[in-house]
Amino acid sequence: MAASRADARSRLLSELAGSPARKGYGIAYDLLRNRAEAEEAVQEALARACESIGDLRDPAAASGWFLRIVTTMCLRTLRRRRLKRALLGWLPGQGEPDAAPKTEQQPEDIAERMHAMPSEPPREELASRQELGALFSHLDQLSAQQRTALVLRYGHDHSVGEIADMLGVELATAKTHLVRGLAKLRDLMEEHR
């Protein structure tokens, strides 16, 4: 009994560590914008998936189930990051709440992204870098669920139903996150300009 369970666990692990893990890493990286944190989220999701293998009723749905766990891990990391920022903001001498994590995380990650962008004429490239940088910093100001919904919808082309499933919320709630997230992002970008 225990041996068969261990076998099933290792089979699931080897199955998920391939393509689903890469897809999960893509989502985690787009949400967290940090390689180490993205890898950590995927590893944690793999461990949790293997531990709760009993919850998986349909083996064919393992990939989607795994991506849902990855999203949950990312949401947790985003919330923790936000809480950390809030706590740092309360401490005297820490300055603006959002300032510390931004300077800590963004340069390297944005640089990585910029490197991946197709080459453009210098002036346009600079303008698009600035635009993208602003977009990332505005995305940081959205709630974890709004941000996840937007990234999954427009970055990874998931349907609203899939987003609801991955966030673990009702369809109507997922729609609300999308609409409010977009509206808030627009307002933030208008303020920036």
Partner 1 sequence: MKEVCDIVAERVALGEPLGDAAEHAATCARCRRLSALPTELGATHSETDPGIGFAARMTAGAQKRITVRRHRRVAITLAAAVAATTLGVVFLTRQPSDETTPAKLDDKAATDTHEKKHEPAPDQKVDEDVKFLVQMARTDRAAHRSAHWREIEKPLAPYKHLVKGTTP
**Chain residues in the site for partner 1 (CB under 8 A):** 13-14, 17-18, 21-22, 25-26, 29-30, 35, 39-40, 42-44, 46-47, 50-51, 112-113, 116, 131-132, 135-136, 139, 150-151, 153-156, 160, 175, 178-179, 181-183, 185-186, 189-190
Is the Cβ of residue 91 or residue 189 nearer to partner 1 in the bound state? 189
Minimal distance, residue 64 CB to partner 1, in Å: 18
Say which amino acid occupies 126. L
Closest CB to partner 1 among 91 and 114?
Answer: 114
CB of 145 closer than 8 Å to CB of 31: no
- Least Å distance, CB 29 to partner 1, is 5
Asked if residues 38 and 8 have their Cβ atoms less than 8 Å apart, the reply is no
The residue among 82 and 156 lying less far from partner 1, judged by its C-beta, is 156
Looking at the Cβ atoms of 28 and 75, the one nearer to partner 1 is: 28
Angle subtended at Cα 146 by Cα 55 and Cα 187, rounded to the nearest 5 degrees:
175
DSSP string over 106-157? HHHHHHHHHHHSPP--HHHHHHHHHHHHHHHHHHHTS-HHHHHHHIIIIIS-
